[in-house]
Structure 1
Amino acid sequence: MRAAPATSTGREIVEGLRIVAPAALGYVPLGIAFGLLVAQSNLPWWMAPALSLTAYSGSAELLLVGLASAGTPLATIAVTTFLVNSRHVFYAFSFPLKAVRGPGARLYSMYALVDEAYALTVARPQGWTHTRLLAMQVALQSTWVASGLVGVGTGSLLPGRIEGLDFALCAMFITLALDAARTRAEVPSVLLAGLAMILAWFLAPGQWLLTSLGVFVGLLCLRHLWVRAGSWRTRDEGGQVRS
């Protein structure tokens, strides 16, 4: 990563906010839906900001609301959250964390490494500074927390429930799945996800969500090994032909 030219702190903050503005605006409707879901799930209002500060991840937070309101055991919630958020581990390989100075700032940057923050740095692989990167991440989380509070406040004022709001999590995952399957190369992953769900439904109908996540991870690992073995065979055959 090439270092950005030195500029004032104020300009760096403004640049970080300018870069993150479109993604932060996209947080608003989903954050409000998250707050409304908390308000309608018989959970205390403070669960919205508490989850946004401790389990900062939109998909995991929506999932946690459903699990908590259903009285799911704590161990199941912990494992499910781990599996849903395990993708963040791989973000660190290309995230410009080296630009952040100080152990406290680095810990926050790692904690606030969500999908949108990673996507912004991938789209702009150069030019990230300490101030610009932290301004981007703080703006994202602040927008998410504020939107959740707006949703909780709005939900407390509504006279009745909004039917179908609990489908927001399912709709979001459907959108993410469709967005990830735009090419034929990703179709096998979608089929493996469906196979994992079917197997989990028969193997552990009482814990099918957690089981399907585990089975899906295992199937993805097997697919990765299969693809690598195929590429090795192709290289070996190519080497024999050239010889």
Structure 2
Amino acid sequence: MRTSPAAVGNRPRSAPVPLPPGRSEARAAFKDSAGAILGFVPLGLAFGALAAQSGLEWWWAGLSAALAFGGSFEFLLIGLVTAAVPLAAIALSTFMVNVRHVFYALSFPLQRITGRLGKTYAAFALCDEAYALATANQARSWTSRRILWLQLYLHLCWTASAITGALLGSLIPNSVAGLDFALTAMFTVLALDAIRDMRGDLPTPALALISAAAARLLFPAQMLPAAFTLFTATLLARHYFTTKRPRHA
């Protein structure tokens, strides 16, 4: 239904014309993911260049980025593929590197995603950056569309960067100053934002640091899964003792 010119002229100038819900949420999700995308681009280019320099075809980098979407594991996968490692060893390596996603599922807002297809894609496209953004304090009011748009932008950015890096692999230097620190810097910013959102819950990052330090000392070969396990155990213990604390009349 079209709006007549007269109706437009009579509309108060102070009232902005609302955007369609899907369109506005897509724009909001793009703004939410902009910082993570800036971290994805150099890493995706580096991944694509590494794949090309390892003798793999350019499409292999794009296919891996689109279907595996494993981030750090994809770098490891290049070495496994070029070394012709057995599939069983690749499967075990995949599980060990990505086992952290099991813990992500405990607090990722999958219950806010509508539709079976949406839930399936949200689970598939769950990465560290999407988890950090979707579980932040300001994301509690995000709708299903906004979360899915966020994950789609990250997925497309990683895939496009990997393909670009593979096609231009010969033009990208083997070592670029600061490239290896791009993702670390992005996670540092996300961690600081998360700490600011906690407001009085500072023991949580302290428990995370203690768990990481203990895992490093006790289980250096399996630090990541050990740290997640210890951190989860301490959180459950804190929750138990907090809820079971006797109430005084």
Which TM-score applies when normalising by structure 2? 0.68
1:137-170 CA distances to partner (integer Å, 9 max, x unpaired)?
A: 0000111011101110111457xx83799x969x
- Give the Cα separation in 1 of the matches to 2:76 and 2:99: 15
1:105-157 CA distances to partner (integer Å, 9 max, x unpaired)?
A: 11001100100000001223411112111110000011101110111011145
Residue equivalent to 2:70: 57
Alpha-carbon distance, 1:103 to partner: 0.9
The one-letter code of the counterpart of 1:162 is N
Q: Counterparts of 1:87-236 in structure 2 under 5 Å? A: 87-123=100-136, 124-156=138-170, 162=174, 183-184=209-210, 186-194=212-220, 196=221, 213=222, 217=225
Alpha-carbon distance, 1:172 to partner: 7.2
Is 1:77–2:66 an aligned residue pair?
A: no
- Give the Cα separation in 2 of the matches to 1:134 and 1:219: 29
Residue equivalent to 2:4: none
- Give the Cα separation in 1 of the matches to 2:21 and 2:232: 49
Alpha-carbon distance, 1:45 to partner: 1.6
- Give the Cα separation in 2 of the matches to 1:163 and 1:25: 19
The one-letter code of the counterpart of 1:71 is A
Root mean square deviation of aligned Cα:
3.8
- Give the Cα separation in 2 of the matches to 1:225 and 1:191: 18
Residue equivalent to 2:9: none
From 43, 47, 60, give the equivalent of 2:60. Answer: 47
Give the match's secondary structure for 1:16. Answer: helix
- Give the Cα separation in 2 of the matches to 1:47 and 1:37: 11
Larger Rg: 2
Residue equivalent to 1:8: 21
Alpha-carbon distance, 1:29 to partner: 0.4
Give the match's secondary structure for 1:46. Answer: helix
Alpha-carbon distance, 1:98 to partner: 2.1
8 Å contact from structure 1 (residues 192, 219) kept in 2: no
The one-letter code of the counterpart of 2:216 is V
Residue equivalent to 1:205: none
8 Å contact from structure 2 (residues 37, 154) kept in 1: yes
- Residue ranges of structure 2 left out of the alignment (5+ in a row): 1-18, 192-204
- Give the Cα separation in 2 of the matches to 1:225 and 1:87: 11
- Give the Cα separation in 2 of the matches to 1:225 and 1:117: 20
From 25, 28, 45, give the equivalent of 2:38. Answer: 25
The one-letter code of the counterpart of 2:122 is S
Alpha-carbon distance, 1:191 to partner: 2.1
Which TM-score applies when normalising by structure 1? 0.69
Alpha-carbon distance, 1:192 to partner: 3.0
Structure 1, 133-142 or 95-104: larger mean CA deviation: 95-104
> Among the aligned pairs, what percent are the same residue?
38
8 Å contact from structure 1 (residues 35, 155) kept in 2: yes
- Residue ranges of structure 1 left out of the alignment (5+ in a row): 1-5, 197-212
The one-letter code of the counterpart of 1:61 is E
Going from structure 1 to structure 2, the CA distance change for 1:219 and 1:96 (only over 3 Å counts) comes to closer
Going from structure 1 to structure 2, the CA distance change for 1:225 and 1:93 (only over 3 Å counts) comes to closer
